[in-house]
Amino acid sequence: MRPILAILLSIFLMGGVYSYLSFSNSVRRPPLTVEVIAAKGNYTLEIERTFRCFPDPILEEPSLTVQFGSNEIYKREDEVPIDERIAIGPIEGIEAGENEFLISATMDTLSNDSSFGVLKVTVFRDETPLASKMFASESGLTSISGPIVFDTERTDSTSHQH
């Protein structure tokens, strides 16, 4: 009697799991639709540095890169002198709301007595600053990288990220 009860119980459990899975597959969820609204205005990015950017041949890193989402919007593989002002723009694909750029720069440690460098990134909308952030190198590291997050809905120019 016990073996028959065990077989019936296992058939009942497997049938229950099968009917649950077939029911959950038959109930279709509506497709997820996300409406993307393009931000108004011309957006540009300005980068200032206290160091010379130099590509790293050992790690195969470029001297300076800017990434927006999954797209690399700026890449320098040559030397970037200290006095060269870098302005990137107009930048396409900025969405209304919060956006993020990822900045990465490789320092030339041979020309500096100290291994300390500062990188300042400013985001502009129609020549009005939206966000500004400074990145400093860690002691002994030769590259600086980090994100700058800004909101296109923000209208004042006092947004600072720490």
The answer to whether position 22 is within a domain reads no
Q: In what helix (H) or strand (E) does residue 133 lie, and over which residues does it extend?
A: strand 128-136
Q: Is the pLDDT of residue 151 over 50?
A: yes
Within-domain flag for 29: no
Q: How far is residue 137's CA from residue 115's CA, in Å, rounded to a whole number?
A: 8
The two three-digit tokens of residue 131, written as one number: 């966000």
| Chain segment 83-131, per-residue pLDDT in tens | 888 999 888 888 888 889 999 988 876 555 555 788 899 999 888 898 9
- The helix/strand/coil state of 8 is helix
Distance between start and end Cα atoms, the chain: 73
Q: Evaluate whether 63 touches 106 at the Cβ level (below 8 Å).
A: yes
| DSSP H or E run through 49 | strand 43-49
Note whether residue 135 is domain-resident. yes
> Which residues lie closer than 8 Å to 115 by C-beta, 6 or more apart?
107, 109, 137, 139, 140, 141, 142
Domain contains 53: yes
Residue 35 in tokens: 């409406």
Q: Which residues are within 8 A (CB) of 49 and not within 5 positions of it... i.e. 6 or more apart? A: 80, 82, 105, 117, 118, 119, 120
pLDDT confidence bin for 158, thresholds 50/70/90: very low
pLDDT at 25: 79
Decide if 95 is inside a domain: yes
pLDDT, tens digit (0-9, with 9 covering 90-100), for 55-73: 877 778 888 899 998 889 9
Q: Let me know if residue 88 belongs to a domain.
A: yes
Question: Residue 103: which domain range?
Answer: 43-151
Residue 25 lies in a domain: no
Count of domains observed in the chain: 1
Does some domain include residue 92? yes
- Report helix, strand or coil for 87: strand
